[in-house]
Amino acid sequence: MQNVVGFSLLGAVLCAAAVIAAQPGAPPGAQSATTPSTIPNFMPDVQTSWYPDRPAGDDFLPPESGPGPVLADPAHPYVTNQAGQPTYRVADLSNPILKPWAIEQMKTANDEVLAGKVPFVARERCWPGGVPAYDIYRRVSPTFIIQTPKLVLLVWRSDSQLRHVYMNVPHTANPKPSWYGESVGHYEGDTLVVDTIGQNDKTFIDNYRTPHTEQIHVVERFRLIEDGNKLEVSIEVDDPGAFNMPWRAIQRFRRYTDEGLGRETVCAENNTNFLGYDVKPIPQATRADF
């Protein structure tokens, strides 16, 4: 059966090959007289990818000031596999961004975790992450960023999770809600700015099961830092249906040398439910994608 997302990496591999063959070491247009030299090059070769720069890389980092993302309840701190005996996440429901209905829904999820149940995590059940959760979705596989003049592909190799960012175009008037919504982008100097609307409400904001509505609007700013050895994503989230105020978060990745896009990892077909998760089933498609 096909994964519900249904993307194959073949197209991404061919696209990457074409880009690199056309202009080795630079994204298309980077050497054009009409393209600013400050445009970041996120994939100078086929092995360059990005991986979270810390063990808890599937959590957001808070901003320096102002409203920030939901993080762990201080009374129940989150512990990763690398840090010792791992725990499941319990959300801090005192975060002022949350509307009452969201708090109520998340409290139910918290209570289930504290009662010993296994919580739903999109990545572990082969469901799409949505935006901005895509930025913290990955911990077991790197991300590749393929740049062309009209399209930027964000490729999480595990499970072929792809995002399409259409460059230098406006949003459509009323995009039909979808798992990853409609993303349009442009460059501001050394920063790739990605604006996303049109998401359905089937995903969570994060791995603390923070909900959102179809009103969600996300702006991400991707830029290279530390001499290009790290990638920082500054995230702004506005959803008046779920949050009392707009809020910000940060994610950072380290440059990672990988075997490239040639190896495809499929989630649903390889997940044999070893832990007996009593949560959402692995998604199934009713028809083939081709």
Q: What is the pLDDT of residues 214-252, one digit of tens each?
A: 999 999 999 999 999 999 999 999 999 999 999 999 999
Segment (H or E) for 134: helix 134-137
Where are the chain's structural domains? 10-257
Q: What sign for the dihedral angle of Cα 196, 199, 201, 207? A: negative
Say if residues 253 and 48 touch (Cβ distance below 8 Å): no
Q: Tell me the average pLDDT across 146-168.
A: 90
pTM for the structure as a whole:
0.83
Say if residues 157 and 264 touch (Cβ distance below 8 Å): yes
Is pLDDT at 257 greater than 70 in this prediction?
Answer: yes
pLDDT value of residue 278: 58
pLDDT value of residue 203: 93
pLDDT value of residue 95: 98
Mean pLDDT for the chain overall: 83
Least confident interval from 81-90, 160-169, 185-194: 81-90
